[in-house]
Amino acid sequence: MPKKVGIIGAGKVGCSAASFLLPNVDEIVLYDIVPKLPVGEALDLQNAAEILGLNTEVKGTNDISLLHGLDAVVVTAGFGRTPGMSRMDLLSRNLPIIEDIAGEYGGKDYETVFIVVSNPVDVMTYVFWKKSGADRHRVAGLSGLLDSGRLKTVMRLNKNIRIKGLSSFVLGEHGENMVILRDRMREEYGLSNSDLDWVQNETVKAAANIISMKGATVHGPGAAIARMVEAVLSDKEEALPASVVLDGEYGVKDVCLGVPVKAGRKGFKVVQEKLSENEMNMLKKAAESVIIALEQIGYRK
C-alpha cells in the first residue's frame, strides 16, 4: 500500500520533516499559503530524492484541497518562537491558523491520522480535534517524543549516559510543565534528586537555548515528526509519547496531554502506565495549565 503524507506549512520544520521522510514514504505533498514556496521546496526535495536513488514523489501546492485522502497529515503551519518567547506566547497568533486548517477537514478524511506541531502544541492539538470533528484517536500533537530526545541529549552530553529507544521519560505539557518521570530515571540511571532537578531544568530550556543561538529549532522537530509518521504508517503499534485527547486516562478528561501511546494506521491508543503519586500530581498540574489556556480562548468553561 503506497504511503502518502501531507505537510501543511512549507517552512523550515515542515521541510526538515519532509527530508527525513523521503526514504520511508511514497508521496509527500507540501502545502503553504505563500505563492511558489511549496513548489520550490518540493522541487528541491525531489532533487534530493533523485540523488539518493529514491522513488519518492514530492509535490508542492497552494491548494489545500490536494491534501485530502492521505494516510497522514502533519500541521506545522503558524508562527514559531523567537528568543525570549514562550510557547504560550504564540496562543493568540496561531489559534486562527489552526482553526482554519481544521475547518478544512471538518466531516472529511475519517481515515487520515493528523499530527499537530504548531505551538502551544497541547492547546493547538485540542483545537484541531474540536474544529475538525476527527476521532480523538486520530489526532496527536508532537510533544514527548521531541522532549525525550532533548532529555537524551542532556543526559549524553552532560552525564555521559546513553538512553536508547523511544522510552517515555517525558510526559505532560510540551512546555514549562513537562513531567519527567523522576522515579524511573532514578531507578534506571541512579540519579540523585539534585541531578534530576538539573536534568529537568536543562530539558525544559533546551529549545530556548537553541533558539537563542540560531533563531529556531528545526532538525529535532523534523526528525521527531518523521519518527511519529513512520510509527503510524508501519502500523506495528509502536510505543512512543505523544499529546492526545484524554478521556479519563491518567485521571484526566477532555484535554490534550503528553502520555505514552501506541501508534498505527488507526491512530493513537493510550497506554496506561503506572506512575508514582508525585508523577500523577505533576501530570494533573500540567493538565490544569493546558485547561487554563483553553479557557482563555473559549474552548473550555
Annotated catalytic residue 219 = no
CA dist 196 and 180 (Å) reads 9
Query: What element of type H or E holds 238?
Result: strand 238-247
Q: Which residues contact 182 (CB under 8 A, 6 or more apart)?
A: 193, 196, 200, 278, 279
Pairing of strands 4-8, 72-75: parallel
Q: Which residues contact 39 (CB under 8 A, 6 or more apart)?
A: 60, 61
Candidate list 68, 137, 174, 219, residue with the active-site label:
174
Helices (H) and strands (E) in the chain, counts: 10, 11
Query: What element of type H or E holds 224?
Result: helix 219-234
Q: What angle do CA 82, 84, 90 make, to 5 degrees?
A: 55
- Determine the 3-state secondary structure of 234 from DSSP: helix
* Residue of 199, 210, 120, 124 lying closest to 158 (CA atoms): 199
123 within 8 A of 92, measured Cβ to Cβ: no
Helix, strand, coil percent content, the chain, rounded in steps of 5: 50, 20, 30
CA dist 72 and 268 (Å) reads 12
- Determine the 3-state secondary structure of 78 from DSSP: coil
CA dist 132 and 69 (Å) reads 15
Catalytic residues: 174
